[in-house]
Structure 1
């Protein structure tokens, strides 16, 4: 047994988790440096406008996916091979329906291409995760991010904000090969998907909830406060998003295992501990980082320090959601998503107007906490009811 294997065994880590986490972490680091670099060369208003477009792409992509990526991860892992073909066909159809509507609203062809790329790419890596090919998943995620950063920076020098968006589109389309490969097996038989429609509905709520967690606040901030405030808010949010690799990796690793009733409490404890530790570290690291490299974003310092603690409830949400989805109990996830979306909308409107950037940060943190409390209540009563049977 080599030294790396002994360290893994000491902490109760599995090779698959390390592969998923390493791929996501490296991709997140590359993305973080990309966003920080773009912030250093872009005007605050342009930075806000870029993130506004990307928020639209992410939310509309989550709508077009219909929660089918989690369905593929859950049931393909259980041996239901046909479900990936049926799910991919539905995603293709939903994109064809949504694209004309989105183009009428934004009138930007690069946004359209990015939506297609993100939808197809998501279904592609979902298939890889369902097959528990964690090494391949890590390579795909890392390669896509590296290509995206290279193309976005290159095209920005020629096309400005549109060039960054086109870089996203081209990189996701390049690595959506699983989706394109599956198209030869498309048929109009959708029996497996119909059978899981209840699960899909609640999985859809989770997808929308996650997308709203990362993006809907930008759609609220822009009409209320403008691109300038959004640019300042986004710098705060960027630190949080960098660390969101922790809950993302935990969810992606645990879901296919929970689906086959394999649990690892050490992974849960390690994930929560890591979230707490990094939240504290970044709380103290954010002021010198912003002061040293982004002096035109100094107003966002306190909001970034508040928002970074959202990593803790987000990690708890990922763990609880994987457990519920693994049990094919998705209704609590749907209800928690409704709680989150409602709380976020109300708090952004109330606190944003009263407290500005700090109020927006509190709104983001508070809504995540309420979502965690909701999931925790359902898990507690679900366990209690099982013990009575």
Structure 2
């Protein structure tokens, strides 16, 4: 009996600290969990979702300001290194800056205070954990939660919704005294920080990836599915927090021990087994608990069941993360977090659009399991290499330290490249998501492609009633439409945009690979960053049109063309053929490919045969679609389009004279070319052209030749159509050429890393500034669409009022989809006002075309006679105002006047 008691006492003593941590976390999580559930009951789904959205913003901004200090303090405090004062000072300053910036963007002072409090409280907790003062940790955690609940309820009943976040902020700020004490007890030393800077930055990026991984879902779901569904989702997240309580406690306990060399393997295995039990309990208990406790949250039951599975990968991941961080191998964890985030973001968007909130929830579970697979794989790889090198060490007498360095070098020869690509990919995707036009219909060319793809989905084959040339993109799009089962037309339109955004982001990888053919990985990453953050590419990717697919095909073709392996060069011609089906301009990629293929292989014995082979590959792949186009439209839309453009050019010269045409086209070309190079290429492309021409070799000559041929249709388009998107397919080549400039600049500097950092910083900053200055007014577009819906119910024929009248066609589409376009009754037509200067003359002309109403908005680009109606409608007794958007609280002021032709005739007689 005594032996049993001694064993029990030994176990309790051994896990005393774990028990203390557990009590603290269970108590604090219990308090906050109950309070979150209480808030769910009093706020309702929409406000609950909005609260989680604002806290997610504050959490991300807080982590950005936190600079990875939490794990850094914990690890080095455990090693008795006095780094507190330095980090405390820096975090206080950066948190203040972060709060100011956030206030300027979101204009919410409660979120700003939350950011400052977040920094103060988290450095406090990190320092205590590092010192293994688990009792103090328990006191701080529990009292903070009590303060949080008390202050949040107090402020909520005094000032309303904002009081909740304000209460959280003040509960954090209450621990400012720990910061002051830490500043007194340790010395400020930047030199100490410098020696740990790399580890700190790794922890910082890790924290960022964790913060984005934990909060990005809410930032996406809010605009994608609305605050109400986000409220249901947030309730599920709170349930997951309760399930993850034990794994979090164990992680906080084992991290300092892993840092000290104590593995705790049995505890980790027990945790994983226990997490499986927790997942089963969550799945079974959800349908019983939710309907009784939260009857308003009807969608939460299935969310709870799905998200319960996430506790399994979360537990496994935390054990491996603790292990890697304890060895100061934070880059492994960082890459894992990056992979998880890169999977989670597009999965939430795609699955969220297809399966709603349940799909978005499953995306979180999926990303967790993928991160688990990565961490387990890397750990096994390390163990295998360690065993092999231990055998080698016995025979070669390699020291343990040298062995460790060799091991890490071998395993992570590509780690920086992968990490950089993941970060660029995630950041590029984030920018595209941030500017994504949710619930705004497609217009113009994008709408035509949409209708074509929809008809192909309904018919089961390519339709024969369309006459536009570039049907490669809608044919590709129809494959995804056929796999989707939406009931709303806007969902299909959003899917079209999601695909173009995805293609645009994925192009980052072939751009990197293309740049890698010419430069080292560092410069190739910069080339990929230039493309990823190019603001025009970002804006174009959200239009749902052909360029993203065309660009990725051309870029892949370029990468394969510059391969030393002949088989891959043949693949490049196949890709060029597919790109030609997407846009006829692909033919101007095929021509220089063929020329340079001959030049590069001219000494080969089978050069003629090989040239015939690549020509055959190109022709055979485009032939089926060419035959189809000739059968349906009478034109192959490739050579026929080139001949037609040549004929148009000849006609313009004959009508306007060669000198006049040359002057106007040169002006347009120079103006649009220069404008399209701003902001990314305007300073680095021209010197790059000089350097690439000076360093003459076959690859450089090939780049220039291909760029020249691809520029020919661009120059023609610029001379006739003021649209910069025709030059975008050249941007991957511009990235390569620009790197010659960047390399020259960097090579002439001593601090190369600083210059590279400034280059990447300049790319990001210039992109954000341009996007902000040229930001598309989506609110105006949404209102234009809503007003267009009014127009289609009121009028049968109206004047044009570009660009807002582009929404008349999508406003006529039925809400349920898909249907054949030929079965849709487009009730409202637009009659052009060009070349008219008189209202009566225009109405006389329009009457025969079906004009019934006038739509006026007072815009500067409208004819003067329409603006006169807008400002002085009393002068026109034959016009009756039947709609005014101001009366329905729209910011866009538009009026609709019905034309009374009888009164108009009597006015004319008078």
Q: Counterpart of 2:240? A: 240
Q: Counterpart of 1:347? A: 347
Q: Distance in 2 between matches of 1:106 and 1:333?
A: 32
Give the deviation of 1:247 after TM superposition: 2.3
Q: Distance in 1 between matches of 2:240 and 2:98?
A: 30
Give the deviation of 1:47 after TM superposition: 0.8
Identify unmatched segments of 5+ residues in structure 1.
Answer: none
Aligned 8 A contact 1:300 1:357 in 2? no
Q: Counterpart of 1:112? A: 112
Aligned 8 A contact 2:44 2:296 in 1? no
Q: Distance in 2 between matches of 1:37 and 1:99?
A: 28
The alignment's C-alpha RMSD in Å is: 2.0
Q: Counterpart of 1:158? A: 158
Q: Distance in 2 between matches of 1:331 and 1:4?
A: 45
Q: Distance in 1 between matches of 2:126 and 2:169?
A: 18
What's the CA shift string for 1:116-140, capped at 9, x where partnerless?
A: 1111100001110011111111121
Q: Counterpart of 2:362? A: 362
Q: Distance in 1 between matches of 2:249 and 2:296?
A: 33
| Matched ranges for 1:73-112 at <5 A | 73-81=74-82, 83-112=83-112
Give the deviation of 1:270 after TM superposition: 2.2
SS at match of 2:198: helix
SS at match of 2:167: helix
Give the deviation of 1:230 after TM superposition: 0.9
Give the deviation of 1:187 after TM superposition: 6.2
**Which is richer in helix?**
1
Aligned 8 A contact 1:303 1:361 in 2? yes
Residues 236 and 99 (structure 1), Cα distance of their counterparts in 2 relative to 1, 3 Å cut: same
Aligned 8 A contact 2:348 2:359 in 1? yes
Q: Distance in 2 between matches of 1:186 and 1:159?
A: 41
Please identify the structure whose Cα radius of gyration is greater.
2
Q: Distance in 1 between matches of 2:339 and 2:371?
A: 6
Q: Distance in 2 between matches of 1:233 and 1:217?
A: 10
Q: Distance in 1 between matches of 2:270 and 2:213?
A: 23
Structure with more relative contact order (C-alpha pairs < 8 Å, separation 6 or more): 1
Q: Distance in 2 between matches of 1:152 and 1:185?
A: 33
Q: Distance in 2 between matches of 1:179 and 1:5?
A: 42
Aligned 8 A contact 1:73 1:130 in 2? yes
Give the deviation of 1:9 after TM superposition: 4.5
Q: Counterpart of 1:60? A: 61
Structure 1 stretch 238-247 or stretch 326-335: which is displaced more? Answer: 238-247
Q: Distance in 2 between matches of 1:211 and 1:105?
A: 19
Q: Counterpart of 2:285? A: 285
Q: Distance in 2 between matches of 1:244 and 1:47?
A: 21
Tell whether 2:72 aligns with 1:71: yes
SS at match of 1:298: coil
Aligned 8 A contact 2:225 2:357 in 1? no
| Alignment TM-score, normalising by the size of structure 2 | 0.41
| Matched ranges for 1:1-389 at <5 A | 6-7=7-8, 9=10, 14-81=15-82, 83-184=83-184, 189-389=189-389
Identify unmatched segments of 5+ residues in structure 2.
Answer: 390-910
Q: Distance in 2 between matches of 1:207 and 1:151?
A: 28
Structure 1 stretch 355-364 or stretch 91-100: which is displaced more? Answer: 91-100
Residues 32 and 7 (structure 1), Cα distance of their counterparts in 2 relative to 1, 3 Å cut: farther
SS at match of 2:297: helix
Residues 7 and 56 (structure 1), Cα distance of their counterparts in 2 relative to 1, 3 Å cut: farther
Q: Distance in 1 between matches of 2:127 and 2:219?
A: 31
Q: Distance in 1 between matches of 2:371 and 2:42?
A: 36
Q: Distance in 2 between matches of 1:45 and 1:8?
A: 51
Q: Distance in 2 between matches of 1:67 and 1:248?
A: 18
Aligned 8 A contact 1:124 1:177 in 2? no
Q: Distance in 2 between matches of 1:135 and 1:187?
A: 26
Aligned 8 A contact 1:125 1:137 in 2? yes
Q: Distance in 2 between matches of 1:34 and 1:247?
A: 21
Residues 8 and 156 (structure 1), Cα distance of their counterparts in 2 relative to 1, 3 Å cut: farther
Give the deviation of 1:152 after TM superposition: 1.0
SS at match of 1:261: coil
Give the deviation of 1:214 after TM superposition: 2.6
Aligned 8 A contact 1:84 1:127 in 2? yes
Aligned 8 A contact 1:8 1:14 in 2? no
Q: Distance in 2 between matches of 1:92 and 1:182?
A: 12
What's the CA shift string for 1:12-62, capped at 9, x where partnerless?
A: 961111111211111111111111111111121111111111111111111
Give the deviation of 1:178 after TM superposition: 2.0
Give the deviation of 1:188 after TM superposition: 5.7
Q: Distance in 2 between matches of 1:192 and 1:378?
A: 31
Give the deviation of 1:290 after TM superposition: 0.8
Aligned 8 A contact 1:205 1:337 in 2? no
Q: Distance in 2 between matches of 1:262 and 1:204?
A: 25
Give the deviation of 1:186 after TM superposition: 7.5
SS at match of 1:352: helix
Give the deviation of 1:350 after TM superposition: 0.5
Q: Distance in 1 between matches of 2:81 and 2:129?
A: 14
Q: Distance in 2 between matches of 1:239 and 1:363?
A: 17
SS at match of 1:43: helix
Q: Distance in 1 between matches of 2:12 and 2:105?
A: 50
Q: Distance in 2 between matches of 1:13 and 1:273?
A: 21
Give the deviation of 1:185 after TM superposition: 6.0
SS at match of 2:309: helix
What's the CA shift string for 1:230-274, capped at 9, x where partnerless?
A: 111111111002222222212211111111111211221222122
Give the deviation of 1:354 after TM superposition: 0.3
Q: Distance in 2 between matches of 1:158 and 1:2?
A: 59
Q: Distance in 2 between matches of 1:57 and 1:228?
A: 20
Q: Distance in 1 between matches of 2:374 and 2:10?
A: 34
